[in-house]
Amino acid sequence: MNNPPNSQMLTIWGFVLVFFGAILYFVSKGQFIHAGVAAALIPLLTLAHSPGKWWLVAVMLSNSGLVIPGAATKLAAPLLASAGFIGLSLLDRISHGTKLRTLGSPQRMAGALVLLLVCLASYRGWGLKFLGSANWGGMQYIQLMVGLLFFFYSRQVKVGEKWLSRAIMLYFGLALLPTTITLLALYIPALSALGAFIEIEKSTQFDPSAIGAGIKRVQSLHMPATVLSYFALLLFDRNLKVSWKVLGVGAGSFVLAGMSGHRVVIVKMGLLVAIYAVIRWRKIPQAVKLKGAVAGLCLLASIYAFAQFLPLGFQRSLSVLPGITVGGVARGDAQNTSDWRIEMWRKALPMIPEYLLIGRGSGFNLKEAYGAYTLASDTTTKHEFFIATHSYHNGPLWALVDLGAPGAFLVFGFMVTAIIRYGRRLTWNHSPFMGSAYAVFYSVLISYFIFFLAVFGYSGDVIQMALLAAILEVISEQVKGASKNSQTRTEIRSGWRSLQKTGHPNGTRHPSPDPYRLTNNPKTTV
């Protein structure tokens, strides 16, 4: 049995010390549940020397809402898993001298953006309390850098198709976990105790009165609704036909979108289907196109006919459709949000010249933000508070103000080059499941880019696009590896056939050698 290299043993012992230190800390504080959870996580030590496995875990947990008990809320499990993958990749490169593969344009843009974020944070202040900063908001730097570096090092990942397909399926399944706990906690208050493990507070946002309109909605349902729409497209692409599974998952996605009360989710789902249809148009059978068009028209007609009888939250979501009849309360509430957003953009635009060369950064002064909050007659409509906390509700505004022109150039450069790079790989010879997953995730990548530009963009979109690009990178690199292995197997088979026919692996016949001759010198014989 081979022993692990010294570098791997150092990594494992480092993790052992961290876990046991955490257990002792929790026990000393009387937090025995947290200590038990830390002990239950000890099996993760088996992943301590495998960056590829950490990569799979990070993908699976990316939308799970899981947090580390006892840690800060923003130190979510996906962030820590991604950071673990980055750290192990760096350690692997240092200890084994592993060289990075030739970087593509998106990787170069992502790496340059990370360097810019480090320089900007050093100049403006990191905004992290544990570093002694008087400002808040520095976690945005950390989240952005971890997301971009996760994509940067994904080029080195080599995982089997079986494990990659499982990770993708769990990516969809675990995305429903916060929603399930959220809805159950509304009726079973005891489940609120799970807030130590899942971001229930963040995921509920149960708003019984949205801006005084009396509209009941669960705003955080927009994320599982969109993820379910991805899954519905994946199920459809497997067989290129509308099955009951596809209809069921699609209907569930639509219902969750309506319950969220977000109009943008309805638009995003429609845009996603349109992008996917354009990408896969030639592969979809004509009969399926016709059936899909008829089913879509019937669904749209039903929505227009019965929209006014649905709950107000659902009506608010559907009010984005032109000419649809919904209640005045729902339409008025939706229009107020649109007017608020436009006013927000108008007030944030004058900040661009001030921070054009050197961005504003993500840190903010808590006293100033609190002052804007307390002075606001209604914090849901007062714009100064959101400007103070860098919540501009627009992607280009966020990039230009917080990152400056250099940062905005790198952000858009990363997005555009990623779309170009992975668009060229759509025609690669993927396996059936990976080909379907690739087409769906690429469609999602484009939809994120469009919404970042036009509707509601923020730093989280860059992180999501980096995750999608990382998945596309690993899927496409699998094709390269499979092609090389297939070529090697073909060469071996060809050489073996030639050897059988001619006695020489290259197919060239030579005179049979004298079995008694030791060398090529004819004078040297036994």
Rounded Cα distance, 273 and 267, in Å: 10
Which segment of 43-57, 180-194, 290-304, 478-492 scores lowest on mean pLDDT?
478-492
pLDDT for the residue 56: 93
Q: Which residues span the domain enclosing 338?
A: 205-348
Whether residues 371 and 465 fall in one domain: yes
Q: Does residue 63 lie within any of the structural domains? A: no
Q: Express each pLDDT in 332-357 by its tens digit.
A: 888 888 888 898 899 899 999 999 99
- pTM for this one? 0.82
Assigned domain for 344 exists: yes
Q: Is 291 among the domain residues?
A: yes
Residues 378 and 494 in one domain: yes
Nearest to 220 by CA among 181, 191, 250, 252: 181
- Kindly state the average pLDDT of the residues 59-67: 87
Report yes or no on 97 lying in a domain.
no
Shared domain for 209 and 297, answered yes or no, is yes
Residues 474 and 401 grouped into a single domain: yes
Residue count (the chain):
526
pLDDT at position 124? 86
Residue 379: Cβ within 10 Å count = 13
The larger pLDDT score, comparing residue 36 to residue 279, is at 279
Query: Are residues 478 and 365 part of one domain?
Result: yes
H/E element, 135: strand 135-136
Residue 28, domain member (yes or no): no
Rounded CA-CA distance 106/280 in Å is: 24
Strand-pair partners of 306: none
Q: Is 359 in the same domain as 302? A: no
Name the pLDDT band for 79 (thresholds 50, 70, 90).
confident
143 or 487: which leads in pLDDT: 143
Residue 362 has pLDDT above 50, yes or no: yes
Residue 150 and residue 464 in contact, taking contact as beta carbons nearer than 8 Å: no
Mean pLDDT of 507-518: 43
Burial of residue 127, with CB atoms counted within 10 A of its CB: 0-12 exposed, 13-18 middle, 19 or more buried: buried
What would the two tokens of residue 22 be? 């955490």
Residue at 178 is within a domain: no
Co-location of 368 and 331 in the same domain:
no
Q: Is the pLDDT of residue 404 over 60?
A: yes
Residue identified by tokens 């840690």 is 71
End position of a domain, from candidates 348, 370, 400: 348
Judgement on whether residues 328 and 211 belong to the same structural domain of the protein: yes
In a domain, 211, yes or no: yes
Between CA 54 and CA 11 the distance in angstroms is: 13
* Residue 249 · residue 230 · CB < 8 Å: no
Domain count for the chain: 2
> 315, 348, 381: which is the final residue of a domain?
348
Answer with the one of 320, 348, 376 that is the final residue of a domain.
348
Same domain, 318 and 385: no
Q: What is the mean pLDDT of the chain?
A: 80
Same domain, 359 and 489: yes
